[in-house]
């Protein structure tokens, strides 16, 4: 469920008509709903009620500071994968003890930053990282709290590019070697073992891979405790999928996900952390674009928008589907026609949909890409020197620009000419 609904034939974000925002900020733009973000966060809270838990929002899915502060005020922790994301979370008012630092390639500088400013835990992904983290922490006179990310070799049955829990993936350490690496961690002076971490992929639409992975982690937890480790925290990652179409996708509900967690792990007396991103942010955001042209081709028509693959790369990168709807609701009885929906970037890959049945649309009409909140703005670029598009946050009948569109002067002035080219 989201809060983007038609009222009197006009698509609204909560109580704000989308054409009003378009008139103010221009197109294309991203628009997010506070009510939807709040509802989705509370669904996870309800799902884990009765368990000691912390919901650490996955910052990489949508990292604007206004979004982070909205969720932090609800009680969310944060899962970050870079020093930049750590800084964003801290700038949004999230205390260090509610930030989890994940990622396979943490640098020494990032480790020092987090140890200085506060960190809940590092989710360590390799023996090399473990040793370096211990050396740094020892030199600073502290101990770094860690979980070890364990690769359970479970196929998440998701897209190849977002599967992370198979033995051929770059993430984590093999579960077969976990006991030895935990034994090594226990001997390092700068390390404090606090738990186990697992994350098998993104956009999962079946609970079975989760349950298989969590069952292996439960067995590992019992073994590690028998070895003398104080495993008091299990980080279960994220990955629960969302419906990207209104017709045929039915991912598991957070309540079902939470019930499975309690069934598999409830007897372990651990604090559970989960790291949802897509399910909180995905359906809380849309991308609004304007039609530039309707172009007649040989055997097909093209709906050319002012949004492009640099603004929303998911269709080009993953072959991802987004429902695309007109902002002005079509009159009853309209006739659909198949069109290719494309952007203006000079790449054939700049295609959002092929032969999509759409209502009649022409130049100047507005369309909205649904379920565009996660991995939309955060993956955008300035390819073709196209400015990053604005982000707008709606709260009831109010809206605010939370990232403005840069001017071309701002873009061009970031370049620097060497001395031999300045005469």
DSSP-derived secondary structure for 58-93: EGGG---HHHHHHHHHTT-EEEESSHHHHHHHHHTT
SS3 66: helix
Provide the 10 A C-beta neighbour count for residue 143: 16
Beta bridge partners of 233: 195, 271
In a 13 Å sphere around the CA of 94, the CA atoms on its Cβ side amount to 35
Instruction: Specify whether 346 is catalytic.
Output: yes
User: Considering only CA atoms, which of 176, 359, 203 is closest in space to residue 281?
Assistant: 203
Question: What residues contact 176, with CB distance under 8 A and at least 6 apart?
Answer: none
Block residue for tokens 């002076």 = 189
Based on its alpha-carbon atoms, the radius of gyration of the chain, rounded to whole angstroms, reads 23
Contact 339, 301 (CB under 8 A): yes
b/e code 164-186 from CB counts within 10 Å (16+ = b): bbeeebebbbebeebeebbeebe
First to last CA, the chain: 59
Cα dihedral 43, 49, 53, 57, rounded to 10, equals: 10
User: Considering only CA atoms, which of 114, 123, 58, 54 is closest in space to residue 90?
Assistant: 114
- CA 254, 219, 144, 164 dihedral sign is negative
Choosing from 226, 346, 412, 417, which is the catalytic residue?
346
Beta bridge partners of 288: 29, 368
Looking at residue 285, the DSSP 8-state letter turns out to be: E
The residues annotated as belonging to the active site are 346
């Amino acid at each position: 469920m989201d809060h983007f609904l038609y009222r009197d034939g006009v698509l609204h974000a909560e109580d704000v008509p989308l054409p009003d925002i378009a008139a103010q900020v221009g197109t294309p733009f991203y628009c997010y709903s506070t009510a939807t973000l709040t509802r989705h966060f509370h669904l996870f809270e309800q799902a884990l009620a009765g368990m000691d838990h912390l919901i650490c929002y996955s910052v990489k899915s949508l990292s604007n500071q206004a979004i982070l502060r909205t969720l932090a005020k609800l009680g969310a922790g944060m899962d970050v994968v870079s020093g930049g994301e750590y800084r964003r979370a801290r700038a949004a008012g999230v205390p260090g003890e509610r930030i989890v630092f994940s990622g396979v390639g943490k640098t020494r500088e990032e480790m020092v930053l987090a140890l200085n400013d506060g960190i809940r835990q590092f989710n360590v992904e390799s023996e090399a990282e473990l040793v370096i983290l211990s050396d740094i922490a020892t030199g600073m006179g502290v101990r770094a709290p860690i979980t070890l990310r364990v690769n359970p070799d479970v196929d998440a049955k998701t897209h190849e590019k977002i599967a992370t829990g198979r033995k051929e993936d770059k993430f984590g350490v093999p579960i077969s070697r976990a006991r030895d690496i935990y034994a090594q961690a226990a001997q390092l002076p700068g390390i404090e073992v606090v738990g186990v971490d697992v994350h098998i992929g993104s956009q999962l639409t079946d609970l079975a891979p989760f349950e298989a992975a969590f069952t292996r982690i439960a067995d590992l937890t019992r073994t590690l405790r028998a070895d003398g480790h104080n495993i008091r925290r299990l980080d279960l990652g994220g990955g629960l999928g969302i419906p990207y179409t209104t017709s045929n996708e039915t991912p598991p509900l957070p309540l079902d996900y939470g019930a499975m967690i309690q069934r598999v792990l409830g007897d372990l007396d651990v604090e559970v952390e989960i790291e949802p991103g897509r399910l909180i942010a995905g359906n809380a955001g849309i991308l609004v674009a304007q039609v530039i042209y309707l172009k007649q081709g040989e055997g097909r028509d093209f709906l050319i928008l002012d949004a492009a693959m640099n603004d929303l790369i998911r269709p080009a990168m993953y072959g991802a589907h987004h429902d695309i709807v007109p902002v002005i609701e079509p009159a009853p009885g309209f006739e659909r026609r198949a069109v290719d929906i494309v952007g203006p970037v000079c790449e054939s890959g700049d295609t959002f949909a092929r032969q999509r049945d759409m209502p009649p649309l022409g130049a100047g009409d507005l369309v909205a890409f649904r379920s565009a909140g996660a991995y939309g703005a955060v993956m955008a670029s300035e390819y073709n020197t196209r400015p990053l598009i604005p982000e707008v946050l709606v709260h009831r009948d109010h809206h605010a620009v939370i990232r403005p569109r840069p001017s071309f002067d701002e873009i061009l002035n970031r370049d620097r000419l060497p001395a031999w080219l300045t005469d």
